[in-house]
Structure 1
Amino acid sequence: MIDFLIKSSISLFVLLVIYHLALENEKMHQFNRFYLLFAIAFSLTIPLVTIEVIQELATAVTTQATVAPEEATTRIIKDSVDYWTYSIYTFYILITSILLIRFITNILKLRSKAKSTTRIDYKEAQLVLVKEKTLPYTFLNTIFINEMDYHNRKIEDELYTHELIHVTQKHTLDILFIETLKVLFWFNPVFIFYKKAIQLNHEFLADEKVVQSYNNVPFYQNLLLAKANANPTYYLASNLNYSVTKKRLIMMTKTTSVTRAVLKKSMLIPVVTALLFLLCTKVVAQETNVKKEITPAKPGNLIKTYYDKTTFKIKDEKGKVASEKKYNELTPIEKRAIPSILPKKKELPTNEELLGILSKGAPEVIEIDAYDSKNQFVQKGENEVYNTAGITEKPDFPGGIMEFYKFVGNNFKIPEQPNLKGKVYITFIVEKDGSLSDIKNIRDIGFGTGEEAIRVLKICPKWIPGKMNGVPVRVMYSLPITIQSGKA
């Protein structure tokens, strides 16, 4: 919910600023009405949209350094009752209920007033004659006017036309829409400014029609100034005197060229695109499958077949045979130390000659000495990062991996989000001294879960470092963390 509120508020604010800076003072009021409604709908929808950008992880990490779920999945469950969250929800429901009752009450008052007094059909609307002294105002297809002013013909034709535009263009629906959102999002003041912008634009639309119909701008301006003293009767109605300001009077005589209007409208495309990119894109890890990358036609399969019946004797740093392995069990370093199968001559063999060599098969026994001086090129540099599958001893947490799970579970703070469930994927390097570095969030479920996982790992005690032939080395490690709020 917090993520929804933040993203929607950012979008609402940016689009409203764009409206006030670029569109409000231009005479393209129909487009502006659409823009304001679109801005609200777009902003409330954008947090629900996710555009995934696939990021392929390096093969050395994704195919060999991934810890199996049964070995590296920690489950964090939050069972405690959060009274603070319940208090916030209760307060929200209370305020929303009060505003909703007020909203419905005002609608019922207007409907009741329309039914209880004299009604007269007038073009596409109905005139409702009321006793109280008031300026004309509109709700849905009803125009409320003072009964005495109507019978004494004190209401100018321009005022009837003005209110009729509110009816025919259904401006009340816009106001009801924004008022509904104000009830639901009463804590967000940006909707107050949207309502003001929408109502002022409604007045621009009605003024424009009056000026076109009567072609007497000075008279209409003086009429508005003369009627500008009365207060609006209902906040849900379209009132004639709403915001009779210098902006409104100037707008009657202003013009906007077609070219300028097109330029103003087209500039909105990059703004909307930028908001989509900034608020909706999410980088996710591409999980590759090594088996899919290997096909029978590739040389790797021929090599495996070549060494199928061979036993490899692995020598340690003292030159003694320490273990025996099959080809599939060799580490990348050990594979690189295998003697070349090519004959020792300057000319490389042809494809036919190479296939002939491979078809004969390798010797039954081959000794591998990665520490031999002629094989020094296979040794990694001092700061190189190894995979868990490419070392002789994997890194471990003091007391075992279950103790690590307990540490994460005790320190991970679950976001205040009901029914939160999913996994956070984290990678990090276990340094030679056992400390953790280069902690990265590869994928999370939002609500700050990725940042919280990084924070917990930064305070994690030192691990037992991984080793290559007895020597501590830097090892890449990946860890999925299962998150679940509420009871398991």
Structure 2
Amino acid sequence: MEALPYLLKVNICWVVFYGCYWLLFRKHTFFMLNRAYLLFSLIVSFIIPALELQQTVSVVESAGAAVIATGTVIVGEVTPNTNYTAYLLLACYCAGAISMAIALIKAILQVCQIVRSGISVPMQEYQLVISQRQYARSGSFSFLKWMIISNDDYEQNFEPIFTHEMVHIRQWHTLDILLIEILKVLFWFNPALWLYKRALQDTHEFLADEQATDRDNYATFLLTYAKGAISSSVTNQFFNASLLKRRIHMIYRNRTAAWLRGKYLLLLPVLALAVVLMAARKYVSEERNTETKNKYGTGLISVKGIVTDESGLPVTNAAITFSGTYESTVTNTTGNFEVNNIPRGSTITVIHDDFLRYTQKIRKPNAEYHIRLKSNAKQLLTKQERSAAKRMLAGNESSRIPLDRWPGLPGRSNFIAMTLKYPEQAILDGVEGHVSVSFHIDTAGIVSDAKIEKGVRKDLDNEALRIVRMMPRWRPAEKNFKPVAVRYTMNIAFNIAVDTLPLAVRQTAPPGFWGNRSIYSPAKTGPIGDKLVRELFEKSVLDLRDSTPPTTKLQRFRIAMYRPLPGKMVDMRIKLPKK
């Protein structure tokens, strides 16, 4: 705990508690409760700032990137900047503390000198000291267990003074004054302590005056006794001219109703508020573990179901993703899927090249979802066209292997947001777009062999390559519950309005905001042989009508052919030699 903030909070608590006393309790005749409140508030003000309130902070594990720059480092002399203001304030504080300490010691030594020089008479509960005449101006007072009475008071006014000072001795009022004086030495700059001392002295005198049986005679005695005695800062002086008016006023004041003692319960909310505002904070980090949350059911659920087409047949290799998480999967050969650790209320998205995109809100945590996909084919194919499509798909079968789990990088959006540096020239030119980057992810999750599949401009392409090359280890893809190497394609979005925002704002972007269109394909494991030759000779027949060139549109997983209007048929089929 730092000393200066702690002491500042202590002084603020004193000011607040004294303000409550002045507003609520100072006019009450519950003198013992007032004294207890003042002493309690003085002590508890040291305890409240020392309390520690534990606060748990959730920490999300995110991937970071380190950039090591090499270059020439120039070392120069550092001239220390001397803070003379701090030294001046420290000197003023020490001077004030020393002055207050000297005054306190001097007052205590003066009382000791009066006790040693006077006539001491040991009594049962106290020790009576009759002071010498050279100390007559000090008057009568009490200090701890000593009752010091001047010669004149001993001869003329012994009984009322004796009764008054005995209350001070029995209730140990001197200890209250000593506590205040010691605090004044350390915190002499705080005016609340001076007000505390005055309030305690008033309360002491009210308690002692309360023992008087005849209020009129006692008030008359106080007025006739007034003679300008010199008071000491550490004693309970019988006569104090500054307190005389308030003492007489309190003697004649009607006693406060007993039910008003309940006002002291208002101290409880004040204490609670002081603890909340002034207590120290201890932050305890708590890493988010999605498996633990799912195990205990605190916001994460499991989602399972089946994906079929319009005729009820299962759809295999359909990609299934969820909003708010990077968990994803693909359907198996029976069209079934099951994913754990999915946030409640997220949206499920099913993507397949042969069908339209499907989205649905997850509302029931334990229900099994039956998803029907609609075909996106624009027209039916003939028998010959379907055969040609099957031959093409057979030659491209290696790019459609199903995965049990896609590769993933936790915190991908935050990583891109923290790493991306928009080229300055591109900002000036207003160039934006999506850069498609493919890279190899091996069985250990290491990224390598980054290439630009579709670029925007050279500087944006280079920045996208730099981001990919700085990526940490990915979670590798799995097939048959074993890691496999894949070729992964990812789009990195460049948006001037977003990328120039502060980092703290960019980190709050939802998952996938920085480009989440990803394509995977199996990694090449050997030489391709005559693959290019086979692809060329698979198209064994070209059908040309008149001089109109053919218009053919090939798409993954389907083939759609558009024929021109019927006309004169010219047989221009070219037969290629067989292998």
Choose from 161, 165, 168 the match for 2:167: 165
Choose from 139, 146, 154 the match for 2:150: 146
Q: C-alpha separation between the residues in 2 aligned to 1:9 and 1:29? A: 25
2:236 aligned with 1:238, yes or no? yes
**Paired residue type of 2:292:** K
Q: 1:342–1:251: structure 2 CA closer, same or farther, 3 Å change rule?
A: farther
Which string of whole-angstrom CA distances, capped at 9 and with x for unpartnered residues, describes residues 317-366 of structure 1?
xxxxxxxxxx9xx9977744x4445966xxxx9xxxx89x99xxxxxxxx
- Return the offset for 1:258: 2.3
- Cα contact 1:162–1:206 (8 A) shared by 2: yes
Alignment match, 1:118? 119
Aligned residue pairs: how many?
Answer: 354
Alignment match, 1:218? 216
- Cα contact 2:326–2:410 (8 A) shared by 1: no
Q: C-alpha separation between the residues in 1 aligned to 2:417 and 2:352? A: 19
- Return the offset for 1:234: 1.2
2:395 aligned with 1:395, yes or no? no
- Cα contact 1:50–1:281 (8 A) shared by 2: yes
TM-score normalised over the length of structure 2: 0.52
- Return the offset for 1:270: 1.9
- Return the offset for 1:204: 0.7
Q: C-alpha separation between the residues in 2 aligned to 1:89 and 1:370? A: 74
- Cα contact 1:96–1:186 (8 A) shared by 2: yes
- Return the offset for 1:376: 7.8
Bigger CA radius of gyration? 2
- Return the offset for 1:139: 1.5
Alignment match, 2:249? 250
- Cα contact 1:27–1:256 (8 A) shared by 2: yes
**Paired residue type of 2:29:** K
Q: C-alpha separation between the residues in 1 aligned to 2:354 and 2:516? A: 14
Q: C-alpha separation between the residues in 1 aligned to 2:117 and 2:232? A: 17
Q: Percent identity, aligned pairs only?
A: 23
Q: C-alpha separation between the residues in 2 aligned to 1:296 and 1:172? A: 61
Which string of whole-angstrom CA distances, capped at 9 and with x for unpartnered residues, describes residues 288-323 of structure 1?
3415335599986999xxxxxxxxx999xxxxxxxx
Q: C-alpha separation between the residues in 2 aligned to 1:142 and 1:51? A: 46
Where do 1:254-333 residues align within 5 Å? 254-261=254-261, 263-280=262-279, 282=281, 284=283, 286-290=285-289, 291-293=291-293, 295=295
Alignment match, 1:181? 183
- Cα contact 1:388–1:394 (8 A) shared by 2: no
Q: C-alpha separation between the residues in 2 aligned to 1:141 and 1:231? A: 21
Which string of whole-angstrom CA distances, capped at 9 and with x for unpartnered residues, describes residues 145-179 of structure 1?
222442xx212411111112111111111100000
Choose from 186, 205, 208 the match for 2:207: 205
- Cα contact 1:166–1:206 (8 A) shared by 2: yes
Alignment match, 1:423? none
Choose from 458, 465, 468 the match for 2:515: 468
- Return the offset for 1:245: 4.0
Aligned CA RMSD, in angstroms, stands at 4.6
- Return the offset for 1:18: 1.6
Could you list the runs of 5+ residues in structure 1 that have no partner in the other structure?
A: 72-77, 304-312, 316-326, 359-367, 379-385, 401-429, 441-465, 472-488
Q: 1:333–1:249: structure 2 CA closer, same or farther, 3 Å change rule?
A: closer
Q: 1:68–1:247: structure 2 CA closer, same or farther, 3 Å change rule?
A: farther
Which string of whole-angstrom CA distances, capped at 9 and with x for unpartnered residues, describes residues 17-58 of structure 1?
221222222121111111101011111221111223445x4x
Q: 1:342–1:372: structure 2 CA closer, same or farther, 3 Å change rule?
A: closer
Alignment match, 1:436? 502
Where do 1:373-392 residues align within 5 Å? 374-375=356-357, 388-390=411-413
Q: C-alpha separation between the residues in 2 aligned to 1:129 and 1:139? A: 13
TM-score normalised over the length of structure 1: 0.60
Q: 1:288–1:220: structure 2 CA closer, same or farther, 3 Å change rule?
A: same
Alignment match, 1:13? 15
- SS of aligned partner of 2:108: helix
Q: C-alpha separation between the residues in 1 aligned to 2:189 and 2:258? A: 39
Greater RCO (Cα-Cα under 8 Å, separation 6 or more): 1
- Return the offset for 1:5: 3.3
Could you list the runs of 5+ residues in structure 2 that have no partner in the other structure?
A: 68-78, 306-316, 341-349, 361-408, 423-462, 464-495, 507-512, 519-579
- SS of aligned partner of 1:25: coil
